Amino acid sequence: MISAIAELGRFEKNKNPDLTSFDIWLEDSFDNGQYPNLFLIEFIKADSKWTFRKIDVWQNSSDLKSKLLYKFGSSSGPNITPTSKVAKGIEVTIPRKIINWFESNKNKNFFSTEEKKFLNEISEEIKGKKEDIYKALREKAEMVDDDGIVLSPVFTENGNQKFIGDYKSFKKFITEESKQKYKCKYKKCSFSKNKTCSVCNKVKDEVFGFFTSLAFYTVDKPGMVTGGFQQDKSWRNYPVCLDCALDVETGIKLMDQELSFKFYGLRYYLIPRTINRRANEDIIDSILDFKKSPRINATDRERLTNDENDVFEILQEAQNNVALNLVFYAKPKKGILEILAVIEEILPSRIRQLFNAKHFTDNMVFFKGQKTKENKELFRFSFGTLRTFLPNNKIEGNNDKSFLELTRMIFSDIKIDYQFILHQIISHIRNNFVQNQAIWFQTIQGFMLIVYLNKLNLFSKSLKEEADMDHMFFDSFKIESKEELEEKAELFFSNFKEFFESDAHSSIFLIGVLAQFLLNIQKDKRNATPFRSKLKGLKMNSRDISVLLPEIIEKIEQYKKQYGIHYQYKAIADLASKYLISSGNFRNWNIPIDEMNFIFILGMNLSQYFKVKSNTNKDNKQKEDGNE
């Protein structure tokens, strides 16, 4: 993974030859316009001595990045260089960020004697003229708006003004200090000379053991270090040379700017890994070009995720000389990258399979043609379908871990527990059902999710694949007469074997169909659905469901007598009775509670497809085909 990120860095440097190691390490003090005022503390050399002269006010900009060498250090101490944003007032910034920097670093052993002399002179001058500097800064601050201020020293000699970025000594300091964080940590140092770098596989003059720019490689936790928890020997675990460390740092910046995508309340980096540099450049160029100017109209986009910049659609077209890695991470914190999950080695051919299964599912009659108010397709499979049943909210809790694990299994073609998926679906539906909310949409989504996963052959139990599914499930599904009811129902059951493994499953489904017919009648005639309470919050056992059939028939008969209207239900009731009898004693069904209740609620919400078409105008007026 780190090698793939280093390759991103090399790509970026090839595209931008002027990019230096300092650009990689530095931050932009302009900060998107939040710090537009640059106050330069000018020192002038006269009579071989450096003295404070004045405060120059400049317009700050990103173009001054290499001149100012800004790099945040800590909130309570100095930055990496004596350039600082004014966050807590000038009187706090000067001693903490500038005086402290010179005092702490003026005698570093990698400085030459002449460099140490220069830094000591500036340090003494700042301390001696501190009050004069405060006064001059306050006067200048009154002349500008309340926008952010950046402080940085400049040095004038023989009429030439130099920023700290014009001095080799300050650049040397950044290089050595940056290398130091790769060398030493936890009061231990880990590096070696003339060893092989584990990223580029070349023997380098020096390799470092504490390269921790990425949180998924850390040596501060037992178990992460080869040969035991010996931190000073960690270079043996993952030695990295300076060149590769800089490549990784550059790659991380490219990831942050261009290869970070949204994923249902989470974020991930998309990191390609290729077998050669040309393939790597081609795939990265394709991603960046697509993000800048998608060649597919937004209304025609086929997305697997909720990111408007989702690039999976073009990645499925790539050859299998590239593997994709998805690194999911938590909300960024300063200096910390918390990795939530990593999905490695996804081939474009696998992405094509995911899209093929999506197209198969989307075009099924039960999902296709359902429109929103904006005339958009209501049901389109994406990972948002999975997220529906593994949310992160106050009612159902934080399911991010399970959601990411299921996402990993789908991308990686790893078998999934069918009962786990059913449990998540029915649990979510129950939450809506007990609050007397509509459940049609979630039920159809659950149906869609299982059809999709089964098409990918992902269930750990053996289920029928849908490759030979009857064409009518993509064109239409209607039952034109009582005579074809049983044939069409049997066709439905046989084509969705993942749901209907036995006659018990079929009977449960048809009892659900009848239950919805009854609820529709009650809603139409009484504007209430008292029979809903019989469904026990969708936690019915086999006995509860089996005894519903005679109760439903009895209730519908009562409405027939009460209102003198003929309801077409008998053909369905007869078929449900047939399957119920064939299923044997309900005590022997051996079907999990979650599965029974999902099959039941699926029957309720697909009931409109099992209504026998009427032959009389009178019957056509009856409202039996609605759903909750």
Q: Are 233 and 191 in contact (CB under 8 A)?
A: no
**Does residue 469 surpass a pLDDT of 50?**
yes
Length reported for the chain: 628
**Does residue 226 surpass a pLDDT of 70?**
no
Pick the closest to residue 408 from 363, 357, 343 (CA basis): 343
Annotate 151-177 with three-state secondary structure. EEEEEEECCEEEEHHHCHHHHHHHHHH
* Band of residue 234 on the pLDDT scale cut at 50, 70, 90: very low
Q: What is the pLDDT of residues 87-100, one digit of tens each?
A: 888 889 999 999 99
**Does residue 225 surpass a pLDDT of 60?**
no
pLDDT of residue 373: 80
Q: Are 329 and 267 in contact (CB under 8 A)?
A: yes
Burial class (CB in 10 A: 0-12, 13-18, 19+), 120: middle
Q: What is the pLDDT of residues 302-354, one digit of tens each?
A: 888 988 888 898 889 888 888 999 989 887 665 566 788 889 899 999 999 99
**Does residue 381 surpass a pLDDT of 60?**
yes
Q: Are 147 and 36 in contact (CB under 8 A)?
A: yes
Output the DSSP codes for 426-443. HHHHHHHHTTT---HHHH
pLDDT of residue 21: 65
pLDDT of residue 565: 64
**Strand stretches in 470-542, DSSP E:** none
Q: What is the pLDDT of residues 566-620, one digit of tens each?
A: 667 888 999 999 999 999 999 999 999 999 999 999 999 999 998 876 544 444 4
Annotate 443-470 with three-state secondary structure. HHHHHHHHHHHHHCCCECCCCCCCCCCC
Residue 331 vs residue 458, higher pLDDT: 458
Record the pTM.
0.79
Q: What is the pLDDT of residues 485-509, one digit of tens each?
A: 888 899 899 888 877 889 999 999 9
Mean pLDDT of the chain: 85
CA 529/CA 72 separation, integer angstroms: 64
Least confident segment among 202-211, 323-332, 459-468, 475-484: 459-468
Percent of the chain with pLDDT over 70: 88
DSSP letter at 95 equals: I
**Does residue 403 surpass a pLDDT of 90?**
yes
Output the DSSP codes for 21-69. HHHHH---TTTTTT--EEEEEEEEEETTEEEEEEEEEEE--GGGHHHH-
Output the DSSP codes for 483-495. GGHHHHHHHHHHH
pLDDT of residue 135: 93
Residue 298 vs residue 34, higher pLDDT: 34
pLDDT of residue 438: 87
pLDDT of residue 228: 40
**Checking phi first, is residue 150 left (phi over 0); if not, alpha (psi -120 to 50) or beta?**
beta
pLDDT of residue 235: 45
Sort strands 149-157 and 37-46 into parallel, antiparallel or unpaired.
Answer: parallel
pLDDT of residue 216: 45
